[in-house]
Structure 1
Amino acid sequence: MLEDFARQAPKLAPWFATRGWVPYPHQLRMMQEAVAGRSTLLVAPTGGGKTLAGFLPSLNELSKEGRKKVKGFHTLYISPLKALTVDIARNLEIPLLEMKLDISCEVRTGDTPQNRRQRQRRRPPEIMLTTPESLALMLSYADADNLFGNLSAVIVDELHAIADTKRGQLLFLGLARLARLAPKARFVALSATIPQPDHMAEYLSFDGRKVAVIRGQEGAKPDISILLSGKRVPWGGHMAQHAVGDIYRAICTHRTTLVFVNTRAQAELIFQGLWRCNDHNLPIALHHGSLSVEQRRKIEAAMARGILRAVVCTSSLDLGIDWGDVDLVVQVGAPKGASRLLQRIGRANHRLDEPSQAILVPANRFELLECQAAMEAALAGDLDGYPARPPCLDVLAQHILGVACSRPVQPDELFAEIKTAYPFRTLSRQDFDQVFAFVVNGGYALKAYERYHRLVEGDDGCYRIAAPVIARQYRMNVGTIVEAPMLRVKLRRGPVLGDVEEWFVQGLTVGDTFIFAGRLLRFEGIRSMSVECSVAKKGEPKVPAYAGGRLPLTTGLAGRVRSLLSNTRHHRRLPPEVQDWLRLQRNRSQLPETSGLVVESFPRGKREFLVAYCFEGRNAHQTLGMLLTRRMEKMGLKPLGFVASDYVLGVWGLRAPDAQQVGALFDQDMLGDDLEEWLEDSSMLRRSFRMVAIIAGLIERRHPGAEKSRKQVTFNADLIYDVLRKHEPGHILLKATRQDAAWNLADVGRLSDFLQRIKGQITFRRLSHVSPLAVPILLDIGRERIAGEALDELLDAAAMDLIAEATDPLEAAQ
């Protein structure tokens, strides 16, 4: 194979030799498949030259003497992250310069200035690096055929991170169109963490073409450890402020450290904590998606130059960015998935023969169990699988309009093309026709309004945009990323108390109570962008705010945590105080099991508590809590509220259920009428509709000449939602809304699988006092959002009585 490489790549082979490199077998295989014109999926660990392997065939083709320069792009590289496109462009400069290749390579993202975008269309570079949104934008222009018609290769990086998202669905609709515009183009996908490569390869088979799956050689196993700050593992808390000093000491002993956290709020807190103890004045930076473009670029450039000792970051730096000086990754908080953990660990030590070093920092005892399970899964290469997402009809609507902005569309031809995109392979003609009709005139209830008439049919049976302004509106609003806004919390006839994340409000129904700004508030409804409340005179918070991260615990990792808990032989791998915690749980009650469900109930104060050890992630638990309290109300158990973590669901009320009632509470039929009633009563569907309407193009966030405020967007969405529910309840966007709510907000599919799995396997324990494993979830009841170090200190103080009660040997003997 090396001889073939030297013969086929007369400029690349000497460059490898001057650097003292020998191409990896998977790099040579990529060259061979490209010569045969086949599409490929490359799965190789970080440090194995995966990105270079994707570009080698293109560099070779473009480097050959006497080649004919064609019009438009030769190679298109697509990344889910803007920062990654910039980093890859920077890395490509080196081989292009050292091989003295006259190859143009440019970046096109939302940050690219307008004058450069226009110049790129007039004089397209041979290699274009872009994002899914910018690809959709470029495909909407009338010259898309000229830009993409001579494509030789399309490279999709970090395929696993985008495949089953709305961004991924928009991307693959665009790639299906590229396959029609450039039928000879090869499609290449790259990833380090794909659990089912043969399945993922189908995403590249747009017209039935075969896709070669290439697996790179395995690298050194990562060196992963779990940090126990002061040999102490807190019972509760989510911010890990107790470990900041230890994290700082780890930074001091390494060249460059990436400190990953799960939320932007946690990033800010950890960054502030590190600066407070930064006695050596080390250059430590912060990077997350809410920072300005200029600030993020400044940090990325500083990292590339190797002048920073640490960066505290969120998923904004998860993917693919190769900074050679990074020799340590710290994951603060539980990673929520083995694939995510490996992806983050891969940012350290980009060499196959050297192990990447990582430290996991659990914030509490359940997170320590998750960290242990994630570490074992990562070392075993047991990656997380994700369920396939059904076709997103709002994304489809956006794509149809984008195609029409570029050229006249014929419905039959467009339907056939869309079906070649893997996420839309199951799309029915009925759904397509309904979405197409919506794009044409808004549907039955909205077609009386001229503003929703976006396409007109010609005598040739093709549809064209009704006016040039339609194309301008589309291009200003393209994409599927809709920021979940913060909502103002306001007293009726009173002041604004502050802001709360929209996700928290989505599950509230009128009459629910929650704690905010030190007050017990009663939810009265949503008006525009404000959560209207009144001061509750008495009672407990029915839905207290939860301060944990929003990343869901994956199904595979949840199963490993249950297995770790249920098998006492595995406990010896845990710290002594955590072993004692689990031993006390066995004495007081029992440990959660691998397959069934353990439910405890016990009195405390004047209330009865029900604790279920579900391990299905906070989204599913939040939905389960809403449904359980409705059922308990109907049973006369008088529930007062619930709180959910990734691991446990806790409900409190005035009466305790018996064993028979517990079985009925967790019956699978709750996903029928109970779910329908809750969805209708809550604001969840209304909020989901706003996001669907924006993506589908029914409501523009930005309009030529002006940008709409969030208040205007919400008002318009609420008005249209009410009109459709009244006059056209079968509207395709209402169907998309319910589908979206079930997938994103309620995690109904996972909840359904859980209820089916535990059927007939529920163990109910009636206890006289709180159990050790129930302490963390009880600590979450009624808690407020507290910034800084005070959070964990207050939790520790509040925990003392609970811990004493849960660990009293006399109580355990009763």
Structure 2
Amino acid sequence: MPFKQVNRYFKDKGFRPFPFQKTAWERTANGIHQLIQCPTGSGKTLAATGAMIERLLTEPSLNGLRLLYVTPLRAMTKDLELALKDPFKANEVRILARNSDTSAKDRANLFRKAPHILMTTPESLSVILSSPKSIDLFSTLESIVVDEWHDLMSSKRGVQMSLCLSRLMRLSNHPTITGISATLRDPHLALEALLPNGVMGQLTQADIERTVTLSIAESSEDSRLPWAGHLGLNLLRPVSRRLVPGQTTILFTNTRNQAEQWYQALCIVRMDLSIALHHGSLAASARHGVEKQLKLGDIDCVVATSALDLGVDFQAVEKIIQIGSPRSVSRMIQRAGRASHRPGSRTDVLLVPTNRLHLNEFSALADALDAESLEPIRPPEHCLDVLIQHLVTIALQEPWHPDSIFKEVTSSWAYRDLSRKTFNRLLTVLLKGSDSLEKYPEYRRLEQRGDGCFVLVSNHAARRHRMSIGTIVSHAYVRVRMRRGRSLGEVEESFAGRLKPGDIFRFSGKRLETIRLSEGELIVKPARSGKSGEVPRWTGGRLPLSETLATRVMQDFQRQRPLSKRIQNKEWLANALLKTASIQGRISHCPRQDMTLGERFKTRDGYHLCLYPFAGWLVHQALGPLIATRIAKRIPATLTVTVNDYGVEILSPEPEPLDRCVEDWGAIVSPERLNSDLEHALNLSELVKRQFRATARISGLIFEGYPGRQKSLRMLQTSAGLLFDVLSQYDPMHVLLEQAKYDVLRDEFDMERLKKTLNTLTQHRLTVKAIHQPSPLALPLVIDRLSARLSTETVAERMARLTRGFNATA
């Protein structure tokens, strides 16, 4: 196929299509499903849509929806709408973006006069599918594009998308599915997870090299690197000097608290610059305003979190600064892709260490980029809460028979192994909630007609479900509102629940004083300048170190080869790494892959045993309590556990429990009886109870209320708690209880990686070194524990005393 129209468009723009774009067009035109993998800024959107652009330009008389473009971010839908309108300036091709920000008028117009191209999110697509009118809307669909598939497939949103694709394949005449991703370790698995079970597709990969170079912010006598910490503000001045007026920079942080702190600090030291704040908890109007400034290049610096990671195209961005370790190779590639958003361009990223061990992570990051060693993505499977929501959504569209819907659901990759027995248990939940809830009509959502088809039990049940379609939650949030009414955004309820009237915290670039938590809203006012007692942090998401980087960090202590050439100041970094390894080796041993390093020392706090599996924070969250519990089974002990990405600290008032741990090491880390020991070690029932609220919200078992009449936070907590207790007592094998437990073990403790770590620990010998002071590896664990409690001695003073013998200033 010559693709004359789209080639002419490229020529008018002064570009020539890449070979991978032409290949993608041919495959779409021939009805071949595909996954396009190419670097950010290489024209992947036009690769995925070029064939349909050609068809719509060639056949202007076509009516009905032809192209559905699904993206994970609302901000991307508007950006894509503008980009796709460009080829059709002289044509009457209708293009519409539909998301939660879309006006009621535009939502209604979707069905009155169908667009040729529709851009939406997975959540909004579910809402569209709930309408009976969507059957006609999607009947003409020819092509489906799923953007940023690597991001979607790693969460329940990808499962939701997969179910929607299975439904669309049934409603349409076999549309062509195209996935887009810039960062994937296993593209074959990604393609398999994208397509309906048994449907074949092909990989379309771009042969375009995008170079990412790394520069490390160097410490000096005036800005020495601490051995522990995560803010990095000690390097504020050298970082601020890198910001240039008129040159747009995105400064990425890993947590929202970190973003708030850096934004405040930069505003103080660089008052000559236009600086903005962007993270996912801010009000939508604030985020959209910053995104507009980024597109126009009207801002000098944006302090951001992962909310700007994905493929929104900001052509004006020229520099990227990363505060702290990005924690994964894939995340670094995504963030680097936000600058120099042009095919084949080079991006130089300034990496800012917040502590000395981040230098080791930066070296490991460069090695992993050289080896193209990305993190594996494990798509979630059998998410029964998502499936329950989807089944009710499809019942709103049209009645369905269990046999046909079971076949449709199991055509989705995530549910390919779903048994009919489990599916029938889900039908019980839809019909009556459970045997213990059947007398309560609010838990009856569907009923079975005489012909065997399932329909909504009432208009009331239908209205309630429409209010929660697309809900995929991991944490509950409360709105932050000024006393005089203006909304600032949202924070996690777990944080808001700990605040007392008068407490001070930073949010939306402001110092705020808590007034009260009421009806699901945190009411605040500006804090007076002299007011002290600021709350140090709010949650905002902690990023665990990936397995890929953790393994390379361990190897880095024994590095013999030169540093990567992509590091611009590698001589300085090499010298700093050598000093760290020298201090670690002088005080203790350097870690090695063929052994498990342990360190024992005594302080005024007690007897310490530090162990270094290098398995990442999620795994260590479970491993630490597991080790402590198994020690306590052997000898009565009062143990304190602290964990980070590198290791685990066990603190005891007496040395005997630690002696027993070393003596019985093989049994202490055995993978046998793992589940039962974890139940005891982690107080798992409480964690599952907390997770159950999210599971119940996704599945629709808990109703949050109508717009303007939402249930209060306390009411939701009480409802979920009572429901959990009833099901635990009378229906302990309920599918949603099982789902909540599975989610806790998978998402909060990475159960699969924990089992792998235990197997590795049993195979490697334990080498324990008695030391006289905390080593560079032990010190962050000690400081983390000190930071979590009140003390008359400041943490900084204590850290200075503990590092007195290190003699390293770099």
TM-score interval (norm. to shorter): 0.7 to 0.9
Corresponding residue for 1:601? 600
Corresponding residue for 1:427? 418
Which of 446, 451, 455 is residue 455 of structure 1 equivalent to? 446
TM-superposed deviation, 1:477:
1.0
Relative distance call for 1:485 and 1:464 in structure 2 (3 A) is closer
Corresponding residue for 1:187? 177
2:132 corresponds to 1:142 = yes
Quote the RMSD (CA, aligned, Å): 2.8
Which of 35, 38, 52 is residue 44 of structure 1 equivalent to? 38
Deviation readout 1:111-160 (Å, 9 max, x if unpaired): 11222211222222111111010001111111121111111111100000
Relative distance call for 1:660 and 1:684 in structure 2 (3 A) is same
What SS does the corresponding residue of 1:751 show, helix, strand or coil? helix
Which of 147, 150, 153 is residue 163 of structure 1 equivalent to? 153
Relative distance call for 1:696 and 1:183 in structure 2 (3 A) is same
What SS does the corresponding residue of 2:609 show, helix, strand or coil? strand
Corresponding residue for 1:800? 800
1:375-774 correspondence to structure 2 within 5 Å: 375-482=366-473, 484-485=475-476, 550-569=542-561, 574-605=573-604, 607-636=606-635, 638-656=637-655, 657-658=658-659, 659-669=662-672, 671-680=674-683, 683-703=686-706, 706-769=709-772, 770-774=774-778
TM-superposed deviation, 1:626:
2.0
Which of 142, 153, 156 is residue 152 of structure 1 equivalent to? 142
User: Partners in 2 of 1:649 and 1:548 — Cα distance?
Assistant: 23
TM-superposed deviation, 1:677:
2.2
Corresponding residue for 2:168? 178
Q: Comparing 597-606 with 656-665, which one deviates more in the overlay?
A: 656-665
TM-superposed deviation, 1:262:
1.0
Aligned amino acid, residue 779 of structure 2: V
Deviation readout 1:406-453 (Å, 9 max, x if unpaired): 111111111111111111112222221111221121121111211111
TM-superposed deviation, 1:547:
7.9
Relative distance call for 1:785 and 1:298 in structure 2 (3 A) is farther
Identity %: 33
The runs of 5 or more residues in structure 1 that have no matched partner are 489-498, 509-515, 519-527, 531-543, 787-792, 809-814
2:309 corresponds to 1:318 = yes
Deviation readout 1:369-412 (Å, 9 max, x if unpaired): 11221222123322111234231111111111111111111111
Q: Is the 8 A contact 2:617 2:644 kept in 1?
A: yes
User: Partners in 1 of 2:27 and 2:116 — Cα distance?
Assistant: 21
TM-superposed deviation, 1:596:
3.6
What SS does the corresponding residue of 1:804 show, helix, strand or coil? coil
Q: Comparing 124-133 with 61-70, which one deviates more in the overlay?
A: 61-70
User: Partners in 2 of 1:349 and 1:704 — Cα distance?
Assistant: 42
User: Partners in 2 of 1:430 and 1:136 — Cα distance?
Assistant: 26
What SS does the corresponding residue of 1:669 show, helix, strand or coil? coil
User: Partners in 2 of 1:39 and 1:562 — Cα distance?
Assistant: 41
Aligned amino acid, residue 307 of structure 1: D
Deviation readout 1:480-520 (Å, 9 max, x if unpaired): 432624799xxxxxxxxxx99677999x9xxxxxxx999xx
User: Partners in 2 of 1:66 and 1:717 — Cα distance?
Assistant: 53
Aligned amino acid, residue 267 of structure 2: W
Aligned amino acid, residue 33 of structure 1: R
Corresponding residue for 2:530? none
Corresponding residue for 1:64? 58
Relative distance call for 1:486 and 1:27 in structure 2 (3 A) is closer
User: Partners in 1 of 2:732 and 2:412 — Cα distance?
Assistant: 29
What SS does the corresponding residue of 1:251 show, helix, strand or coil? coil
Q: Is the 8 A contact 2:599 2:771 kept in 1?
A: no
2:345 corresponds to 1:354 = yes
Corresponding residue for 2:111? 121
TM-superposed deviation, 1:610:
1.1
TM-superposed deviation, 1:353:
3.0
User: Partners in 1 of 2:654 and 2:415 — Cα distance?
Assistant: 49
Deviation readout 1:332-354 (Å, 9 max, x if unpaired): 11111101110110111122332
User: Partners in 2 of 1:60 and 1:51 — Cα distance?
Assistant: 14
TM-superposed deviation, 1:795:
4.8
User: Partners in 1 of 2:634 and 2:148 — Cα distance?
Assistant: 49
What SS does the corresponding residue of 1:136 show, helix, strand or coil? helix
User: Partners in 2 of 1:366 and 1:613 — Cα distance?
Assistant: 14
Q: Is the 8 A contact 1:637 1:653 kept in 2?
A: no
Relative distance call for 1:612 and 1:254 in structure 2 (3 A) is farther
Corresponding residue for 1:20? 14
Relative distance call for 1:747 and 1:353 in structure 2 (3 A) is closer
Deviation readout 1:668-721 (Å, 9 max, x if unpaired): 236232112245565201101111111111002233662112211110000011
Corresponding residue for 1:242? 234
Q: Comparing 398-407 with 764-773, which one deviates more in the overlay?
A: 764-773
What SS does the corresponding residue of 1:328 show, helix, strand or coil? strand
TM-score for both structures, normalised by structure 2: 0.88
Deviation readout 1:601-653 (Å, 9 max, x if unpaired): 21112510111112222122112222222223333362341221112211211
1:74-153 correspondence to structure 2 within 5 Å: 74-97=66-89, 100-153=90-143
Relative distance call for 1:122 and 1:718 in structure 2 (3 A) is same
Aligned amino acid, residue 375 of structure 1: A
Q: Is the 8 A contact 2:695 2:739 kept in 1?
A: yes
Q: Comparing 251-260 with 546-555, which one deviates more in the overlay?
A: 546-555
What SS does the corresponding residue of 1:357 show, helix, strand or coil? strand
Corresponding residue for 2:26? 32
Aligned amino acid, residue 67 of structure 1: S
What SS does the corresponding residue of 1:23 show, helix, strand or coil? coil
Relative distance call for 1:645 and 1:322 in structure 2 (3 A) is same
User: Partners in 1 of 2:164 and 2:697 — Cα distance?
Assistant: 19
Corresponding residue for 1:370? 361
Relative distance call for 1:779 and 1:546 in structure 2 (3 A) is farther
Relative distance call for 1:30 and 1:794 in structure 2 (3 A) is farther
Aligned amino acid, residue 556 of structure 1: T
TM-superposed deviation, 1:233:
2.6
TM-superposed deviation, 1:578:
3.6
Aligned amino acid, residue 763 of structure 2: G
Relative distance call for 1:321 and 1:545 in structure 2 (3 A) is closer
Q: Is the 8 A contact 1:637 1:655 kept in 2?
A: no
Which of 221, 225, 231 is residue 233 of structure 1 equivalent to? 225
TM-score for both structures, normalised by structure 1: 0.87
Q: Is the 8 A contact 1:374 1:557 kept in 2?
A: yes
Q: Comparing 662-671 with 80-89, which one deviates more in the overlay?
A: 662-671
Relative distance call for 1:163 and 1:558 in structure 2 (3 A) is same
Relative distance call for 1:569 and 1:457 in structure 2 (3 A) is same
Aligned amino acid, residue 719 of structure 1: L
User: Partners in 1 of 2:759 and 2:82 — Cα distance?
Assistant: 51
TM-superposed deviation, 1:243:
1.8
Relative distance call for 1:743 and 1:212 in structure 2 (3 A) is same
Which of 773, 780, 798 is residue 784 of structure 2 equivalent to? 780
Q: Comparing 394-403 with 200-209, which one deviates more in the overlay?
A: 200-209
Q: Is the 8 A contact 2:111 2:134 kept in 1?
A: no
User: Partners in 1 of 2:200 and 2:751 — Cα distance?
Assistant: 35
TM-superposed deviation, 1:568:
4.8
TM-superposed deviation, 1:181:
0.7
Relative distance call for 1:126 and 1:735 in structure 2 (3 A) is same
User: Partners in 1 of 2:692 and 2:562 — Cα distance?
Assistant: 46
Relative distance call for 1:45 and 1:130 in structure 2 (3 A) is same
Deviation readout 1:279-305 (Å, 9 max, x if unpaired): 4x2111111111111111111111111
TM-superposed deviation, 1:782:
2.6
Relative distance call for 1:205 and 1:549 in structure 2 (3 A) is closer
Relative distance call for 1:604 and 1:805 in structure 2 (3 A) is farther
User: Partners in 2 of 1:316 and 1:333 — Cα distance?
Assistant: 17
Paired residue total: 751
Relative distance call for 1:665 and 1:486 in structure 2 (3 A) is farther
Q: Is the 8 A contact 1:222 1:379 kept in 2?
A: no
